[in-house]
Homo-oligomer: A and B are copies of this chain.
Amino acid sequence: MTQDFKHMVANWFTTLQDQICTALEKTDGTGKFREDKWERAGGGGGRTRIIQDGAVIEKGGVNFSAVHGQLPDIFRKNKEFEGETFFATGVSVVLHPENPHVPIIHMNVRYFEMDEGKKAWFGGGIDLTPHYFDEEDARHFHRQMKSVCDTHHPSYYPEFKNRADDYFYIHHRQETRGIGGIFFDRLQATAEISLADRLVFVQSVGTSFAPIYTYFMLKNKGKQYSEREKQWQMLRRGRYVEFNLVYDQGTKFGLETDGRIESILMSLPKQAGWLYDFQPEPHSPEADTLAKLKKGLEWA
Q: Which residues of A are interface residues toward B (Cβ below 8 A)?
A: 34, 36, 50, 52, 59, 61, 171-173, 234, 238, 241-242, 245-246, 255, 258, 261-262, 265-266, 268-277
Contact = CB atoms under 8 A, between A and B. Distances in A.
Contacts of A273: 269-272
Q: Please state the number of chain copies in the assembly.
A: 2
A38 B171 CA distance: 20
A255 B36 contact: no
Majority-rule SS of A interface residues:
mixed
A61 B276 CA distance: 9
Q: Which 7 A-B pairs have CB atoms at the shortest separation, nearest pair first?
A: A245-B245, A268-B274, A50-B276, A262-B277, A172-B255, A271-B273, A172-B261
Contacts of A265: 242, 274
A172 B172 CA distance: 24
Given A36-B277, A172-B261, A246-B246, 15 more contacts: A50-B276, A52-B275, A52-B276, A59-B274, A172-B258, A173-B261, A238-B268, A245-B245, A245-B246, A262-B276, A266-B276, A268-B274, A270-B273, A270-B275, A271-B271
B246 A241 contact: no
Nearest to A242: B245
A246 B36 CA distance: 26
A241 B59 CA distance: 18
B246 A59 contact: no
Contacts of A36: 277
A49 to B, nearest CB: 10
A97 to B, nearest CB: 15
Contacts of A242: 245, 265
Given A245-B242, A268-B238, A59 B276 contact: yes
Contacts of A275: 52, 59, 270
A172 to B, nearest CB: 4
A276 B277 CA distance: 30
